[in-house]
Amino acid sequence: MKMIFSLLPVLLFLISLYLLDNFKLVSRKTLLLCLLWGVASALISYYVNNFLIEQLSLKGETFRRYFAPLTEEIAKALLVLALISRKKIGFAIDAAIYGFAAGAGFALAENMFYIFILDSDTNLVVWILRGFGTAIMHGGCTALFAMILIGGIQREKNFFLSVLTALFVGYIIHSGFNHFFLNPYLQTLLIFIVLPLLFFIVFQRSNTMLQDWLEIEFSNEIEMLRMIKQGDIKSTKAGEYLISLKKHFSAEVIVDLYWYFSLYLELSIKAKRNLMLKENGFPLIEEPDIMDKLTELNQLRRQIGKVGELALQPLVRMKHRELWKLNQLKNN
């Protein structure tokens, strides 16, 4: 029973979040990696916390309230941070799920440690509180970290500042939880009601954002690529802009810019099409040349350089979401 109450709620919560991912943004492999990272981060935190307790000679309660939340939130967040930096996370939905998985892994390891290593023979109520309260709090804090960070990136805020803000929010909630300002039962109930509600709202908003993003860009990109394929690009504003670049770049660079733009459109359309197919449960279309095209795009990106990319910014902005979108093609 101890096992069921302390481990099951967080896993069920994670599965529920995974099922809410309409667009199947989350890959099972990465999800498992996050869960395992959570376990590893619990182990890392355990040693770091013990080391700090010895070095700082702090009372257990002071450490649990102020220091442990910081080390634990940093440890859990590291993989999420790496995934976001490598453009493997694009929206609040996948950010929340990966973040929650890392926190869930941490909570699973922590509760197992209490059950098996410390052999705590405490009242069942404590395990219910740990399972429904502490474990969900761990998942929720890392999920919040991920959602706030991806939100900052999407709004093009300073990356370092976004990391700090996201970490601060996770830390405050974790530290507040460890202070037990509220009755533990009430605190657990609050976590169990507020977090699902928060996730529901964020998922709804993120889904709408994703749909709007698909709607606006998909049609424009198809229209643009259609014009390019028909040789009518000159008559469009994008074509006029490309022609205007002749004054500033050599003919070779203009050709590279043109092909870069055209290839980007093709790959972007395919990435979005795949999202639509995944959303509706269709198998993805096998395209053996996709990796070659991605390599070619990277090669062209190198050839046109930063200046070329800047010049193309009115047409193609290679920001986080664009790179994430192209990464999705690799994963398929």
Binding of residue 48 to another protein (CB under 8 A): no
For residues 31 and 275, which CB has a smaller minimum distance to another protein in the complex?
A: 275
Minimum distance from CB of 92 to another protein (Å)?
A: 20
- Where does this chain touch another protein (CB under 8 A) — which range of 24-32, 48-56, 94-102, 216-224? 216-224
Task: Quote the CA–CA distance of 245 and 11 in Å, as a whole number.
Answer: 55
Binding of residue 88 to another protein (CB under 8 A): no
Binding of residue 229 to another protein (CB under 8 A): yes
Binding of residue 291 to another protein (CB under 8 A): no
Minimum distance from CB of 285 to another protein (Å)?
A: 5
- Contact pick of 81, 141, 202, 225 for another protein (by CB under 8 A): 225
C-beta separation of 135 from 108 below 8 A: yes
- Contact pick of 169, 277, 294, 318 for another protein (by CB under 8 A): 277
Binding of residue 273 to another protein (CB under 8 A): yes
Task: Quote the CA–CA distance of 69 and 106 in Å, as a whole number.
Answer: 12
Q: Which candidate, 212, 211, 237, 213, places its Cα nearest to that of 224?
A: 237
For residues 182 and 285, which CB has a smaller minimum distance to another protein in the complex?
A: 285
Q: Tokens standing for 77? A: 């967040």
In degrees, to the nearest 5, what angle opens at C-alpha 281 toward C-alphas 278 and 285? 60
In degrees, to the nearest 5, what angle opens at C-alpha 34 toward C-alphas 41 and 274? 160
Binding of residue 214 to another protein (CB under 8 A): yes
Task: Quote the CA–CA distance of 285 and 270 in Å, as a whole number.
Answer: 9
For residues 279 and 296, which CB has a smaller minimum distance to another protein in the complex?
A: 279
Q: How many CA atoms lie within 13 A of 242 on its CB side?
A: 23
Binding of residue 20 to another protein (CB under 8 A): no
Minimum distance from CB of 218 to another protein (Å)?
A: 4
Task: Quote the CA–CA distance of 96 and 141 in Å, as a whole number.
Answer: 10
Binding of residue 215 to another protein (CB under 8 A): yes
**Where do the H-state alpha helices sit in the chain?**
2-19, 28-56, 60-62, 68-85, 92-112, 124-129, 135-154, 159-179, 184-230, 237-244, 251-279, 290-312, 320-331
- Contact pick of 2, 65, 174, 270 for another protein (by CB under 8 A): 270
Binding of residue 279 to another protein (CB under 8 A): yes
- Contact pick of 67, 159, 218, 249 for another protein (by CB under 8 A): 218
Quick one: DSSP state of residue 285? Answer: P
Positions that interact with another protein (CB under 8 A): 211, 214-215, 218-219, 222, 225-226, 229, 266, 269-270, 272-273, 276-277, 279-282, 285, 287
